Structure 1
Amino acid sequence: MQDTLEVEIQEIVDAAHRYQQCLDVEGTSGASNGVVQPANLRESRRALLETLNKWKLIAAGPTEQWEQTTINYCAESCLNWLLQFDIPRLVPLDATTTYSEVAEAAAVPEQELRRIMRFGMTQGLFSEATPGQIVHTPYSAAFATNEDYRQVVLLQTGFFSPMMKCLAEATKAHDAPSSMNTAAFNIAMQTENSFYAHVAKTPELTKRFGSGMRFLAGADDTSPKFLVEYFDWTALGNAHVVDVGGSTGHISAALAKAYPALTFTVQDLPPMIAKANVSQLSPDISGRIEFVPHNFFHPQPETSRDADVFLLRMILNNWTSLKCEEILTNVAAIMRPGAVMLLNNFMLHEPGTVGKRAEALERARDLFQMAAMNGMERDLDGWNELVGKIAGLRIREVIRQPGSSQALIVVDKEAS
């Protein structure tokens, strides 16, 4: 047992050593206020976190797990409080301050501030250089210097968290997830509006969602780089791509820039198409992208019949399975022989095939979809089941992004 423990402890030491080597190469302390990091630093950091998490789970018994749950819900509430009152920006980045000075600036009771900040310090938020003298840590400083980060964490702690706590109530209320407006979100917010309809009607939430999109731009799990680089677009030649539910066309623009032989039709609802700023597209791609109002729950227009590729990127996780079948059926009905449907979505790894921390993040995304809109993330079996329900469709190929949850699912239509 001792030999085994020593080997495992060495695993932690080795992971920490590799991480430190990457820090030395990059010339950084490891602090970052964004999600985009050099690949070697990102991978070594994740490896160290996985190793530490593994041993935390091994060391913790039921009592310690309960204690951690206590810490977790207090940490979430503490963080939300600190951000609601904008405390990180009231602490100087390069000097110390006192509780009384911060409390006065924030117009909050000093005793409450002191208690909440001192709990936050146990989680890496702020520090006391000397008793009563507050200074920033890299974690707390990120909230002072990156407004998008602050907004997305406020979104998580103030909006997503209450929604997640209503999962059990949603299950009790509805035997099966039949629609988007019977989700945990609807119970938490006491609304019959769907998740996105509610967000669209709430300016503060709209702002925070925009911040979240900007903050996550470039992250491995959401970056369009995978779609651009991992699929063999060149082999298609002078192909036409229909970008189904393509928003304002940012994905089509990225593909058009990389592949001059491709042309695109971006489809989305009229309000979204109206936001597309065609004038901002560079001249070399603007003539190859057209924007067409279309609801993907309606049959595809006849103009789509000659398309070579139907691209659905990050669409199907946002809808119930029945709605996903409607979307796929409408696309399948217009696909000609030789055309493909390309689903760019997340794909859950099989249990135990990635580290527990990485798997937890994947499954947290799945539970978010369940709580928000009765949507879901799928593993390979789930994708085969969904596609298999549509007459004539079959999955030809699956391309996984190394170290990420993104996948490209290439779907053919069998000759009738």
Structure 2
Amino acid sequence: MIQLPQQDELSAIEAKSMAQHIAFSPYIFQATVAMKELGILQFIDKYRRKGVLLSDIVKAVGVSEYGVSVLLDFALTCGLVTVVADEEDDQKNLARYSLTKVAFFLLHDEMSVVNFEFTQHFGYQGLAKLTESIKTGKPEGLKVFGNWETLYPHLAELPDQIRESWFSFDHFYSDHAFDEILPIIFESKPKHIVDIGGNTGRFTTKCLQYNGEVHMTIMDLPPQLAKASQNIAVLGLAERFHQFPCDMLDPKQVLAEKADIYWMSQFLDCFSEPQIKIILSNIANGITSKQKVFILETFWDAQQFDAAAFSLNATSLYFTCFANGNSRMYAADKFMALVEASGLAIEKRIDNIGLGHSLLICSKVT
């Protein structure tokens, strides 16, 4: 179980200091963006052991000494850079700058890079509408991109860099889980798997490549099916791929038939609780006692690390402000109660898959 922050352990000074970090957090973020875009952090990173002089940084990045120094002074106080001691430089009143571990991870840790660029390119501007989204239950931040009611039907219309950052964020977490989970899925030797909400076909592609006999069907909106079909065709896997256009929020939506497994990965967290009940009830009503339902999700309270729970709850605010205004990353108990209330029985739960995913293996209640 994750350890939530214990405020009684903070002194008044520590708590007040944290309050200032929150108050100026947009400045911390934008200063980090500037130092990355100008190449300041990357240049310092080359000299991580002995550090580098301000004059050398100024020359390397082509920005005024004022511009570089004002960023570095702030970076010193928010823990991104540090000064390396050097006796000879001290005598000349010179400072050599080196990266902290925090800045190192912002540059080199894939998760940190993906999360940072997702916020920078996709989320930052629209988050100013979070209060309005909370009040209306609508994704008001989405208006910075277009006059759209929800995000997913319009992913292809996002500007290139913004779309790339969104998909990098989406795929990073699922990709780490897929490779680990494929042996579990194919243990029962399924011949046909239906990928509900398959989006661009990432999971379907993995299955087609993993097993040369399985047939895969994606149930999704037409724009997502078109992109998935294109991606799968490029890889020469179209012969065993099938499309099933659908709207899973339609209470009368039928399922693609004759599947051994109905699969959903990071799909249900895109919906509100009433909508999840509709989707799962459709599935429960449409399957037989011999068919299985596999649900892969990230439960914020089932994480091994505090930072993971923090990131998932931040992602909930992305759903609030951008996706549809009413979905979130769920706590495990609340989510499992929705599954069981829909007419499905949870046969098995497997936690700590990939980067904090949980797998629920379900069957029809008989």
What TM-score comes out, normalization by structure 1 length? 0.67
Provide structure 1 residue ranges, at least 5 long, that are not aligned to the other structure.
Answer: 1-49
- Identical columns (%): 16
The equivalences for 1:199-218 within 5 A come to: 200-213=157-170, 216=173
Can you list the C-alpha shifts for 1:342-376, whole angstroms capped at 9, x where unaligned? Answer: 211122437xx966445434433334433433211
Aligned to 2:290, the other structure's residue is in SS state coil
**How well do the aligned residues superpose, as a CA RMSD in angstroms?**
4.0
Q: 1:406 aligns with which of 343, 357, 362?
A: 357
Instruction: Output the CA distance in 2 between the equivalents of 1:273 and 1:125.
Output: 43
Which residue number in structure 1 is paired with residue 118 of structure 2? 155
Instruction: Output the CA distance in 2 between the equivalents of 1:190 and 1:63.
Output: 44
For 1:402, give the aligned amino acid.
Answer: N
For 2:279, give the aligned amino acid.
Answer: I
Instruction: Output the CA distance in 2 between the equivalents of 1:158 and 1:356.
Output: 25
For 2:150, give the aligned amino acid.
Answer: S
Instruction: Output the CA distance in 2 between the equivalents of 1:147 and 1:106.
Output: 24
Q: Tell whether the 8 Å contact from 1:384 to 1:395 is kept in structure 2 after alignment.
A: no
Shift of 1:317: 0.7
Instruction: Output the CA distance in 2 between the equivalents of 1:107 and 1:132.
Output: 19
Aligned to 1:323, the other structure's residue is in SS state helix
The equivalences for 1:328-347 within 5 A come to: 328-347=280-299
Which residue number in structure 1 is paired with residue 139 of structure 2? 183
Aligned to 2:248, the other structure's residue is in SS state coil
Provide structure 2 residue ranges, at least 5 long, that are not aligned to the other structure.
Answer: none
1:66 aligns with 2:16: yes
Q: Which has the higher contact order (CA 8 A, sep 6+)?
A: 2
For 2:347, give the aligned amino acid.
Answer: E
Shift of 1:60: 1.5
Instruction: Output the CA distance in 1 between the equivalents of 2:234 and 2:261.
Output: 25
1:369 aligns with 2:319: yes
Shift of 1:160: 3.0
Can you list the C-alpha shifts for 1:251-286, whole angstroms capped at 9, x where unaligned? Answer: 12323444455322123333333333334446xx65
Instruction: Output the CA distance in 2 between the equivalents of 1:401 and 1:327.
Output: 23
Which residue number in structure 2 is paired with residue 82 of structure 1? 35
Q: 1:325 aligns with which of 244, 268, 277?
A: 277
Instruction: Output the CA distance in 2 between the equivalents of 1:347 and 1:169.
Output: 26
Aligned to 2:163, the other structure's residue is in SS state helix
Shift of 1:309: 1.6
For 1:153, give the aligned amino acid.
Answer: F
Q: Tell whether the 8 Å contact from 1:227 to 1:344 is kept in structure 2 after alignment.
A: no
For 1:409, give the aligned amino acid.
Answer: L
Aligned residues: 346
Q: 1:252 aligns with which of 204, 225, 232?
A: 204
Can you list the C-alpha shifts for 1:212-231, whole angstroms capped at 9, x where unaligned? Answer: 35655754xxx213432445
The equivalences for 1:211-360 within 5 A come to: 211-213=168-170, 216=173, 219=176, 223-231=177-185, 233-235=186-188, 237-260=189-212, 262-275=214-227, 276-281=230-235, 287-298=239-250, 300=253, 304-349=256-301, 356-360=306-310
Instruction: Output the CA distance in 1 between the equivalents of 2:286 and 2:223.
Output: 24
1:115 aligns with 2:70: yes
For 1:208, give the aligned amino acid.
Answer: S
Q: 1:125 aligns with which of 64, 77, 80?
A: 80
Q: Tell whether the 8 Å contact from 1:152 to 1:209 is kept in structure 2 after alignment.
A: no
Q: Tell whether the 8 Å contact from 2:182 to 2:207 is kept in structure 1 after alignment.
A: yes
Do the aligned partners of residues 139 and 280 (structure 1) sit closer, same or farther apart at CA in structure 2, a change above 3 Å counting? farther
For 1:115, give the aligned amino acid.
Answer: V
Shift of 1:311: 0.8
For 2:221, give the aligned amino acid.
Answer: L
